[in-house]
Amino acid sequence: MRANQANQASGARWWWAAGAAAAFAAVGSASAQPLAAVPTSIASTTTSEDSAGAGCPEDTVFDNGACVHLADAIDDGPVAPSYANMHHEPSGRLSTYEQIPKLPERPADYDAYRYPIAPGLPGGHYVVSGYDLDRPDAAQRRGRSLRHVGHGGVDLPQTKGAPVRLVALEHQEGPAEVLYTGPLFGTTVVTRHTLREGGRLRDYVVLFGHLDSIAAGLSPGATLNDGDLVGAVGNTGSRELVHLHLEVRRVRDGVDLARVAAGGQLVAEVVSVVCDPRNVLPLREAGR
Ligand SMILES: [Zn+2]
């Protein structure tokens, strides 16, 4: 369940890297304000068959008696702001970190989303342990002795060897790119996804942890489309439970991923900010 055992050796202590996290939390939270809701589309107020708007120039639509310019990227997702939070590590040390909580308009129900594996729980459910870094310190305690604290992803139980397939994120442009394969949260694959959000492109990284094996031929630089094989579910680095640890992180502005070679650096606070995966996972379609 706790996904960091294999990460200890990398030196990237990610969400409880208190020193670096606190420094960046102070910077990152200063300007982080929730954005006003963005209309999903102004195009819904007009139609292409609208005879009154037939004379509107390209890149404009007829709306309320006038030709109005389409806003850039009107169907983009909103930009999720990041916030500082803190918790006590098992050692008792208070750790401050930055994280991106679920946007209020996104469904809270984990079963509303599409995942890289088939549901592994009775009733078609997926998640045994969800994202909790947005919660108060005491609400992050988990595990048999309640000593584990802070979970930056979702844990998806499955049988060992079950296929893990790439899921293209919402507002993603182009295929995902493999950034790293190897030890991190157990055997791990890290992919980069470029999303159009708020009228600009942002990179996210997705971590597939505790894999039993990595798909044949998969190595950094490979591209993956929705449904492509990433690997097989396992329990590497997590002897307690065979499951996929799925984690999403937004890459910080100004970070050149081409210069971030080591897997551990990809999850360092200076490189990426942990994000509630429900902000970017695609919603399930009926019957899918
Ligand atoms: Zn996990």
The three state secondary structure string of 242-280 is CEEEEEEEEECCCCCHHHCCCHHHHCCCCCEEEECHHHC
Residue 21 contacts residue 97 (beta carbons within 8 Å): yes
**Higher pLDDT among residues 23 and 147, named by residue:** 147
Q: Give me ligand 1 centre to Cα 287, in Å.
A: 27
Q: pLDDT band at residue 19, thresholds of 50, 70 and 90?
A: very low
Q: Higher-confidence residue: 285 or 111?
A: 111
- Residue 16 has a pLDDT of 29
**139 pLDDT more than 80:** yes
SS3 216: coil
> What is the predicted pLDDT for the residue at 11?
33
Mean pLDDT over 20-24 rounds to 34
Name the residue type at position 38: V
- pLDDT surpasses 60 at 40: no
Distance of alpha carbon 188 from its chain centroid, rounded?
15
Asked whether the predicted pLDDT for residue 60 surpasses 70, the reply is no
d(CA 245, ligand 1 centre) in Å? 4
Distance (Å) from CA 131 to ligand 1 centroid: 9
Ligand 1 centroid – CA 7 distance (Å):
12
Domains and CATH numbers, the chain: 5-33+76-279 (2.70.70.10)
DSSP H or E run through 29: helix 18-30
pLDDT of 144 reads 65
CA 282, distance to chain mean position in Å, is 11
Ligand 1 centre and the CA of 276: distance in Å? 12
Instruction: Report d(CA 93, CA 99) in Å as an integer.
Output: 19
Q: Taking the CA of residue 27 as centre, how many other CA atoms within 13 Å lie in the half-sphere pointing to its CB?
A: 9
Q: How far is the CA of 269 from the centre of ligand 1 (A)?
A: 18
- Whether 248 shows a pLDDT value over 50: the answer reads yes
Where is pLDDT greater, at 106 or 240?
106
Strands 163-165 and 229-233: antiparallel
Identify which of 164, 245, 258 has the alpha carbon closest to the alpha carbon of residue 203: 258
Q: What is the pLDDT of residue 288?
A: 54
- Note the pTM of the prediction, 2 decimals: 0.74
